[in-house]
Each structure stands twice: as C-alpha cells, then as structure tokens.
Amino acid sequence: MKTRIAIWCGVGLLIAGCWAVYFAIANKDKPIEPVVNALARITCPVAIAGSHFPIRFYWVLVLNAATYALVGLIVEAARQRLARGSR
C-alpha cells in the first residue's frame, strides 16, 4: 500500500510540474481558455488557492503531491476494505 500511495504522490508532483511548464511557455498575450483553466483546477487543486494569492513554484509541487497522496490514501484504504468485503 505504501508503494501505491508513493505512486499517487509522484503523479501529483508530475501533474503540477507539467502545468508549471505549460503555463511558463504559454503565450502571455492570449487569455487562458476556460477549458484549460477548469482542467488545471481539477487536476491541480492548489491552483485554486494560487489564483487568490501567490504561491511559489516549489510549494505548488509539494502541496499538489501531498493532495494526491491524501487522495491515494483514501482510495487505497477503500480498495482494501472492498477487497476484504468481497471474500
């Protein structure tokens, strides 16, 4: 279970990093499309807080990884309970 939660954490870190690269190379003169904004807020929940006050890049990575680790913990605990219940 620890490995799976670590994978969730790594995925959260990777997703935040990909969004950071995307927004760094995106054209600053063009406004962000609503679909891209919504997708970023869904996959990187820290972006919601970042729209209200500035958050440093490394904190976004850490907080998104922690968020995904928490979600992974919940999902993996539920998976184990469901697996035990079906036996």
pLDDT tens for each residue of 3-61: 999 999 999 999 999 998 998 888 888 888 889 889 988 999 888 887 788 888 888 89
Widest CA span of the chain, in angstroms?
A: 58
To the question of pTM greater than 0.85 for the whole model, the response is no
pLDDT for 87 equals 64
Cβ contacts of 6 within 8 Å, gap of 6 or more: 69
- Sign for the pseudo-dihedral over CA of 43, 60, 18, 15: negative
- Domain ranges for the chain, please list them: 2-85
